[in-house]
Amino acid sequence: MSFDITRTGRAVLHVTDLDASRKFYVDALGFVETESDENSIYLRGYEEQGHHSLLLKKADKPAVEVISYKVYADADLDQIEQVAIKNNLPYRWLEKGEQHAIGRALRVQDVSGLSLEFFSEMDKVESLLQRYDLHKGARVQRIDHLNCLVPDVQKAYDFYNQEFGFRSSEYTEDDEGSLWAIWTHRKGNVHDQAFMNGDGPLLHHIGYWLPDPLALIHACDVLASMGMADSIERGPGRHGLSNAFFLYLRDPDGHRIEFYFGDYFTGDGDFEPKRWSVNDKTRQTFWGHEAPDSWFDEASTFLHVITGEEVKQEKAKLTLYKPDFTM
């Protein structure tokens, strides 16, 4: 592999009501609104130097346009094009100027049907990391990871590992050795991209890093005080997988955001991934409480990078597993 994918870069979501989205993301959660117009809102965390890490675009139906990765240099994009050609994957180029605040970009439909984007250049803005006078809501710091439902987790991991250089940090398998879920990374923490078994491809959630666990609790208080407690889907809690504190939220269109804090370093060359049994209920919630059915059953639909139509879903290779919390 002669190119360098550095980290999760951004996500582009279609939403139906920009005013409702602004109330949720900016007024309640504290995302920074870099700029906006009548059709879009560009959002980022306080730490980020890039123009945005979340783009909300007004549309008739909620959907995921792309999930994006940042690469080290523009020349890396040409190498990723060769991966698409070799694997007979649909792809298209977006030249600089076709998208606001972002340079040349390559969009690819991967082997699982996920709609991907790769870019190296984005307009720079001032990091607000130490502008504590501006921090509010959950004090969102930066985008951390993406988690997707795919019908064949082993197939997805093999492709990302062999073609894109993603490495595993933790994984879940059953007693027969079938892979149910896997957490993979480029930037040296637990994950940039996770794959979970399920009908798909679907985007399960976008993960954002917070400064501390109290920020998760404060986010819940703010949402409740604004009459938006119903958007709290799961948590706060601590994952067994990743060891991180978590909070899952649903935006006004049903897109899922995770607030996340406290995983660990995985960048050593001899790092050994941790195995979890699918029967171990503490892998999902270390403290043992149950996730709601919606967390397993609901996720966001992708749009094809060429046609713009909804990507056709396939049934999961393995039967959906939900832990038995009565055991």
Query: What domains appear along the chain, each with residue ranges and CATH number?
Result: 5-119 (3.10.180.10), 142-301 (3.10.180.10)
Task: Quote the pTM value.
Answer: 0.96
Q: Is the dihedral of CA 256, 241, 152, 94 positive or negative?
A: positive
Q: What is d(CA 255, CA 299) in angstroms, rounded to the nearest whole number?
A: 7
Terminus-to-terminus CA distance in the chain, angstroms? 46
Stretch 187-197: mean pLDDT, rounded?
97
Of the listed ranges 67-71, 234-238, 311-315, 319-323, the one predicted with least confidence: 319-323
* The pLDDT of residue 46: 98
Q: Tell me which residue of 156, 103, 109 sits closest to 303, measured CA to CA.
A: 109
Distances (CA, A) of 74 to 79, 96, 119, 150, 262: 10, 11, 7, 29, 32
* The pLDDT of residue 139: 98
Stretch 268-285: mean pLDDT, rounded?
93
* The pLDDT of residue 288: 82
Average pLDDT in the chain: 95
